[in-house]
């Protein structure tokens, strides 16, 4: 039970980028003459796949690795004490059994509190990291849209979005991703090592599914 608890609070379980992403509102501008030119973008996926975010995400994982090991060690200790009590319980006095049971209960509570605090801290820093990159990606998006003459860009990464169908040619996710990576100058990170920590968000399909 304690092992499953540790897995549940390994610093980013339940992390959802959609909760962290706050896409800035586009500034008001006079609509150009002529037909509307519309594009779509999986904004959260674009942010999550930038070299800068991937680098910052890896750094955040490394920062919380000691806390992850601390939680594992505490969980292993609880498991060990629980097993000992089960095996030796009938040989112990009632007071000794009660004392050991209390020790185990106290350590379980410590594990839960420590895990919850670590998860909350990780998610808070992850949100800050994501939003910091997102604001800069938006600046690139805004400049790109104006340069290419787009009058409207819709974010198809939101769970509830009005786009039912979009042609592949209208999707500018990769263009924005490439433009941002070039502007940031951050090289692509090496493939991540095996870890129980959460992986960075994967890009959404280029074309929104039709309904």
Mutual orientation of helices 173-184 and 94-148 as an angle, nearest 10°?
A: 100
How many CA atoms, within 13 angstroms, populate the side-chain half-sphere of residue 119? 19
Contact status, residue 201 vs residue 49, Cβ threshold 8 Å: yes
Q: Rounded to an integer, what distance in angstroms lies between the CA atom of residue 43 and that of residue 158?
A: 9
pLDDT in tens, 63-78: 999 999 999 999 999 9
Structure tokens at 203: 């890009």
pLDDT in tens, 93-141: 999 999 999 999 999 999 999 999 999 999 999 999 999 999 999 999 9
pLDDT in tens, 159-191: 777 888 888 989 999 999 999 999 999 999 887
Q: Rounded to an integer, what distance in angstroms lies between the CA atom of residue 50 and that of residue 53?
A: 5
Higher pLDDT residue, 62 or 2?
62
Residue 33: the pLDDT is 57
Contact status, residue 204 vs residue 40, Cβ threshold 8 Å: no
Residue 20: the pLDDT is 35
Residue 35: the pLDDT is 77
Q: Sort 56 into a burial class: Cβ within 10 Å, 0-12 / 13-18 / 19+.
A: buried
Is residue 2 over pLDDT 60? no
Q: What is the arithmetic mean of pLDDT over 1-17? A: 33
Higher pLDDT residue, 16 or 131?
131
Nearest residue to 176 via CA among 134, 141, 136: 141
Contacts of 201 (CB under 8 A, 6+ apart): 17, 44, 45, 48, 49
Residue 125: the pLDDT is 97
Buried residues in 87-126 as b, exposed as e (16+ CB within 10 A): eeeeeeeeeeeeebeeebeebbeebeebbeebbeebbebb
Average pLDDT, the chain: 80
Contact status, residue 84 vs residue 78, Cβ threshold 8 Å: no
Q: Structure pTM? A: 0.70
Q: Rounded to an integer, what distance in angstroms lies between the CA atom of residue 180 and that of residue 184?
A: 6
Q: Which residues pair with 40 in a beta bridge?
A: 154, 171
Is residue 147 over pLDDT 70? yes
Higher pLDDT residue, 171 or 194?
171
Is residue 22 over pLDDT 50? no
Which residue ranges make up each domain of the chain? 37-184
Residue 195: the pLDDT is 47
Q: What is the arithmetic mean of pLDDT over 178-207? A: 68
């Amino acid at each position: 039970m304690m092992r499953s608890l540790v897995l549940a609070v390994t610093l980013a379980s339940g992390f959802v980028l959609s909760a962290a992403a706050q896409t800035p509102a586009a500034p008001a501008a006079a609509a150009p003459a002529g037909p509307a030119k519309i594009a779509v973008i999986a904004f959260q996926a674009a942010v999550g796949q930038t070299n800068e975010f991937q680098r910052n995400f890896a750094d955040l994982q490394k920062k919380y690795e000691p806390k992850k090991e601390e939680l594992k060690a505490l969980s292993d200790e609880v498991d060990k004490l629980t097993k000992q009590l089960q095996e030796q319980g009938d040989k112990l006095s009632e007071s000794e059994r009660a004392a050991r049971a209390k020790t185990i209960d106290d350590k379980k509570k410590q594990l839960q509190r420590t895990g919850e605090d670590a998860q909350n801290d990780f998610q808070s820093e992850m949100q800050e990291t994501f939003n910091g990159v997102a604001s800069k990606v938006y600046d690139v998006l805004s400049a790109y849209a104006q340069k290419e003459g787009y009058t409207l860009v819709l974010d198809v990464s939101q769970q509830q979005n009005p786009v039912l169908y979009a042609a592949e040619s209208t999707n500018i996710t990769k263009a924005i991703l490439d433009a941002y990576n070039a502007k940031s100058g951050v090289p692509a990170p090496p493939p991540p090592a095996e870890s129980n920590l959460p992986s960075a968000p994967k890009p959404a399909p280029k074309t929104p599914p039709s309904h």
